[in-house]
Amino acid sequence: MTPARPERPAAAGKPTVRPRGRKRNKTSPPGHSKANPGGPRTPSRSPQLLCRIAVHEASHAVARLCLGLGTLVMITIEAAEGGAVTWRSERLDDQTEELLTSVLVATLAGRAAEEEFIGSVAASSGGGPELSDLALATDIAFKMEATLGFGRRRPLLYRATREPALLLALDADLKESVDARLETAHAAARKLVRLHRDAVEFLAVQLLNHGTLEGSRLDQLIAQIRERIVQ
């Protein structure tokens, strides 16, 4: 249920995969399974966890559809990390503040939906920097404030660093601006998933029924999802 690398439109025609969720337990008790008779048994996911992953991934997908961020290629709740969304971008757009803000909203939509529909959030939205919605969103917001010229304070001051966390710890104004940008995007994400609840729930049910959606099945479902998106 958590992603990796800054979420930007991918190169034209190139799929982008966003793995999210808990990693499978590699230290589970010994056992046997049909898939791997001689290896350790992989714990199954509880119905509650599958429901959470489905809501999380469905919300990322619906947000991308609503905000016009690429073309969905695949959505799954069967990835090793929990869930994943794959998309491609047929064109490259200007990296404007408006576009990057939309990316921030889509990045936080999974967590926002957990709060709206489930009433709690799982730690999977956090975690390591390569699998974390929060790490990705913070990285985007930091760059918008520090290096891309969209800073609410000192927009002309370029503050590149290999250790953003250290700079945030040392610069209280920068930390406040980054946090304010994240809070604003998160509030917008909650409003978006609340407004399009019918579309999110419809897609989440499809994910629970099929596990993975791609190809013609996904194309047909996207048309049905668009009918449920509030205009």
| Mean pLDDT score of the chain | 83
The whole-number pLDDT of residue 13 equals 39
Tally: H helices and E strands in the chain: 7, 4
**CA distances (Å), origin 118, targets 55, 183, 220, 226:** 9, 20, 27, 23
> Residue 6 pLDDT more than 70?
no
Domains of the chain, start order? 16-228 (1.20.58.760)
Are the CB atoms for 85 and 228 separated by under 8 Å?
no
pLDDT in tens, 56-112: 999 999 999 999 999 999 999 998 878 989 999 888 888 999 999 999 999 999 999
Report the candidate in 191, 137, 186, 184 with the shortest Cα–Cα distance to residue 164: 137
pLDDT in tens, 144-188: 999 999 998 889 999 888 889 899 999 999 999 999 999 999 999
